[in-house]
Amino acid sequence: MSKTAMHAPIPPVQLDTTAQMPLYNQLYAGLRDAILSGQLAPGMRLPATRALASALQISRNTVVNAFDQLFAEGYLEGRVGDGTYVTRTLPDEMLRVAQKPSITTTRPTQSRHLSKRGEILAATSVTTERQKGRSVAFRPGIPAFDAFPSEIWSRLASRRWRRPPGDLVNYSDAAGYRPLREAIATYLGAARGVRCVPEQVLIVSGSQQGIDLAARVLLDPGDAVWFEEPGYLGARAALTAAEAQLVPVPVDQEGLNVAVGLARCLKAHMVYVTPSHQFPLGVTMSLTRRLALLDWAAHAGAWVLEDDYDSEYRYAGRPLASLQGLDSTGRVIYLGTFSKVLFPSLRMGYLVVPPDLIDPFTAARAITDRQAPVLDQAIVTDFIEEGHFTRHIRRMRTLYAARQALLVELAHRELAGLLTVHPADAGMHLVGWLADGTNDQVISQLAATHGVDAPGLSEYHLEQAQQSGILLGYTAVEEADIRIGVLHLGKALSTAVV
Ligand SMILES: Cc1ncc(COP(=O)(O)O)c(C=O)c1O
């Protein structure tokens, strides 16, 4: 390398110490942009790492890390003791790429052509913006992270990780890890009255993938699907993305109103239901309705997508067995998740499909993302087989019942006249009822300004909502935060009433 090479000035890299992106990454990107735009020309000698660190007031390590990345990608070259140079032989095509990619520039603009499916996907959201951030009182559907037995989990995980056999780190059966499928079949038979053999159990990455797969495998664009009104946004998104025609079917005290479904669309291809604990209203579907629904499905040749997402949490009375267990004609696709009983980022759930659908579902699952992580499946299997799963559920039932009781008590005391909250026998959230005619989206936004996350019931409606309310999830909220949350909610509600 020439000792007379031009020395580059300190590059004008903007570093933001408050940004989420690590500093070395910012420096790497800044230097790379300067090289690509020609500001740092091929063959130029860069300042020594120590000098650059001191000029930019950052640690030398940060500079070294950024340089290492640029060396690895071929933007820099050099020899020990002979400085660092911009690579002389950068291909011309690279040098012409002067614009830096960023979130704004890489987002498809109107001039870019998306497929029809792409357009629909881009326009359909599974969660609201609100649901993405930190978990706060009273976001629904989140388990108690503070009570998760992470020590047990980490012991099981490290035992598996110590020397994982090849089949746990390799490509494997798209339908799932066989011992887990066996454990789930046994658990569902005993706890939910599901009738199945392990071959019918398919491991998926949460209910969301299960619903998406069911839609892909069983529906054509334009097919009618009965959809609970109000209903779960994740299911609505997956079915909308599959171009299903959603037929809202109202939910009353007995669950989905089958008679209205029959009147609105006799020949639907599918129904999506949450019979154990309807989301979001929290009612349990009566046996009469269950039998009527199965009878319709058998006659119409329709599929029943049964989402049994939080049936483990029943605090009083006996749970009704699953629809799948009542079905004798093989029309039910049963869906369960570990998001509520373990934790949502695990991304693990299961489908139980009729025997003749095992192959198409397995093929679709393999095409979508090949398989679920096998080591995680093995850890879940150990967690179930060694009794931690049932113990954890039992502990959570007691904890959640106590959190619910506290929320109800405080709501009665602090929110009387503003919000009506009744205790519930099951689930992970309550509905707080507002006076008829109140705009619950406005209340929800007001609550958010007071640090409370309480989605408005109307968000879950496809049609005009008849009743007004907000959802109050209590399971993830520790006692002290329930107290604070109720007080803040009270302030928000009083502002609205004034
Ligand atoms: C009705 C319903 N189904 C399923 C889920 C769980 O989804 P996943 O398994 O994709 O995390 C939720 C979570 O909020 C839900 O409310």
Does 347 contact ligand 1 (Cβ within 6 A)? no
Atom 14 in ligand 1: which residue has the minimum CA distance? 141
pLDDT tens by residue, 420-466: 999 999 999 999 999 999 999 999 999 999 999 999 999 999 999 98
In this prediction, residue 98 carries a pLDDT of 46
pLDDT tens by residue, 241-277: 999 999 999 999 999 999 999 999 999 999 999 999 9
Q: Considering only 72-81, 209-218, 269-278, 287-296, which range has the smallest mean pLDDT? A: 72-81
pLDDT winner (highest mean) among 4-8, 15-19, 325-329: 325-329
Would the CA dihedral through 195, 200, 202, 207 be positive or negative? Answer: negative
Of the two residues 179 and 36, the one the predictor is more confident about is 179
Does 276 contact ligand 1 (Cβ within 6 A)? no
Give every CB contact of residue 78 below 8 A, 6+ residues apart in sequence: 1, 71, 84, 85
pLDDT tens by residue, 459-485: 999 999 989 999 999 999 999 999 999
**Cα 278 from chain centre:** 19
Both tokens of 213, joined, read: 């797969």
Of the two residues 94 and 267, the one the predictor is more confident about is 267
Atom 7 in ligand 1: which residue has the minimum CA distance? 207
Does 337 contact ligand 1 (Cβ within 6 A)? yes
What is the whole-number distance in angstroms between the Cα of residue 63 and the centre of ligand 1? 44
Q: In the CATH hierarchy, which fold is given to the domain comprising 148-389? A: Aspartate Aminotransferase; domain 2 (3.40.640)
For residue 361, pLDDT over 80 is answered with: yes
For residue 3, pLDDT over 70 is answered with: no
In this prediction, residue 379 carries a pLDDT of 98
In this prediction, residue 128 carries a pLDDT of 62
What is the whole-number distance in angstroms between the Cα of residue 313 and the centre of ligand 1? 14
For residue 105, pLDDT over 50 is answered with: no
In this prediction, residue 36 carries a pLDDT of 87
In this prediction, residue 428 carries a pLDDT of 97
pLDDT tens by residue, 110-120: 567 999 999 99
In this prediction, residue 147 carries a pLDDT of 97
Does 349 contact ligand 1 (Cβ within 6 A)? yes
Mean pLDDT for 10-39 is 87
For residue 160, pLDDT over 80 is answered with: yes
Residue to probe by mutation, ligand 1, list 126, 131, 207, most atoms within 8 Å of CB: 207
Q: How far is residue 464 from each of residues 232, 258, 468, measured CA to CA in Å?
A: 16, 20, 10
In this prediction, residue 108 carries a pLDDT of 52
In this prediction, residue 79 carries a pLDDT of 67
For residue 96, pLDDT over 80 is answered with: no
- What percent of the chain clears pLDDT 70, i.e. is strictly above it? 93
Does 248 contact ligand 1 (Cβ within 6 A)? no
Nearest to 256 by CA among 236, 235, 270, 274: 274
Burial class (CB in 10 A: 0-12, 13-18, 19+), 227: buried
* Numbered ranges of CATH 1.10.10.10 in the chain: 23-103
Q: How far apart are CA 274 and CA 279, in angstroms?
A: 6
In this prediction, residue 83 carries a pLDDT of 87
User: Considering the domain 23-103, what is its CATH architecture?
Assistant: Orthogonal Bundle (1.10)
What is the whole-number distance in angstroms between the Cα of residue 252 and the centre of ligand 1? 21
The model's confidence at residue 302, banded by pLDDT at 50, 70 and 90, is: very high
For residue 146, pLDDT over 60 is answered with: yes
The model's confidence at residue 101, banded by pLDDT at 50, 70 and 90, is: very low
What is the whole-number distance in angstroms between the Cα of residue 308 and the centre of ligand 1? 9
The model's confidence at residue 18, banded by pLDDT at 50, 70 and 90, is: confident
Residue to probe by mutation, ligand 1, list 139, 339, 341, most atoms within 8 Å of CB: 339
In this prediction, residue 318 carries a pLDDT of 80
Q: How far apart are CA 148 and CA 152, in angstroms?
A: 9
In this prediction, residue 187 carries a pLDDT of 97
Mean pLDDT for 165-193 is 96
CATH class for the region spanning 393-497 = alpha beta
Does 475 contact ligand 1 (Cβ within 6 A)? no
What is the whole-number distance in angstroms between the Cα of residue 479 and the centre of ligand 1? 24
The model's confidence at residue 106, banded by pLDDT at 50, 70 and 90, is: very low
* Numbered ranges of CATH 3.90.1150.10 in the chain: 393-497
What is the whole-number distance in angstroms between the Cα of residue 298 and the centre of ligand 1? 26
Mean pLDDT for 129-137 is 63
Mean pLDDT for 327-332 is 96
pLDDT tens by residue, 381-432: 999 999 999 999 999 999 999 999 999 999 999 999 999 999 999 999 999 9
Q: What is the pTM of this model?
A: 0.81
Arithmetic mean of pLDDT over the chain: 91
According to DSSP, the residues that pair with 430 across neighbouring strands are: 472
Atom 2 in ligand 1: which residue has the minimum CA distance? 309
* Numbered ranges of CATH 3.40.640.10 in the chain: 148-389
The model's confidence at residue 91, banded by pLDDT at 50, 70 and 90, is: low
What is the whole-number distance in angstroms between the Cα of residue 119 and the centre of ligand 1? 24
Tokens 């005619």: give the residue.
437
In this prediction, residue 434 carries a pLDDT of 97
